[in-house]
Structure 1
Amino acid sequence: MRHGVSGRKLNRATSHRLAMFRNMVTSLLQHERIFTTLPKAKELRRWADWMISLGKRGDLHARRQVMACVREKETVQKIFAELGPRYQSRPGGYTRIVKAGYRRGDASPMCLIELITEAKQPPRKEKAKKPAPVQAEEASATPASEEKAQD
């Protein structure tokens, strides 16, 4: 039984899988978007969210944990200097997966995984309610009052 076992094996040995995800999370955090297969992207999302959450903490232990996974010092500095402060107010969900069709050779589902940018969107304008029904009630009320006035 698989109680409490999480993660995808992706038909790879453990060492190969860990090395692949370390390389992928490094590339994602460097370039902020990569193109990969959908199952890899869904698993990579867990790794990327974990690295950015450590970057938000910003202490020495978090830096050492990131360096155990991401082996490039420039990327580690980017996590703590740029990405951690960028997502400080966000409680999670730092990545977006956009499906991009199927690969030509083996028809595997492909996608684009990218870091979410905190672009402020303009507030939505509520549609103004038509004043016509209100005027119709007033119009129907005024002839009745005029009839009473004429009597």
Structure 2
Amino acid sequence: MTIKAIPIGEFDFTPYGTYYNLKEDAERVSHTKTDAYEDHMTKAPLIDTPGHLGYTIGGAAPCEVRSMEKHAHTEEAIFCMAEPVILCVALARGGEPPRAEDVRAVLLSPGEAAVMAREVWHDACRGLGKPAGYYYLAKAGERPADWLPVSGGPVALEY
């Protein structure tokens, strides 16, 4: 199975969590512009618990998505640095591992954030043709997350 990443703004992210376009969202984001800077900040906290800031360097796409993780204890916000990244997600089906036919890929660009709801399967984000760094915000768990193989996978990821 092969999937292609689409820009997150063209995808209904609602079943997976909340999407923010920090530069354009006037309802949920406050905007300040001066001669010295331009600022865009969510009006509400990004996740619903105190969070820990993380930094990951994800591998390059195209690639294969072989395993995914999910969290019951926290939402997780993903935002790229200077380069776009691809986020793969899949809805959970109870206690089952992620299924290949459920995997979707969205492209996040600078100024965009995806906040995954609890229990949403996800892979590490991938850079476009090269490794790319991104930040995440989540409450740290008592133990590392479990990564499970994608059932019916792997899923080939293109952009």
Task: Sort the TM-score into its range (normalised by shorter chain).
Answer: under 0.3
| Higher Cα Rg, which structure | 1
- Bigger relative CO (Cα 8 Å, ≥ 6 apart): 2
Normalising by structure 1, we get a TM-score of: 0.27
As a proportion of its length, which structure holds more strand? 2
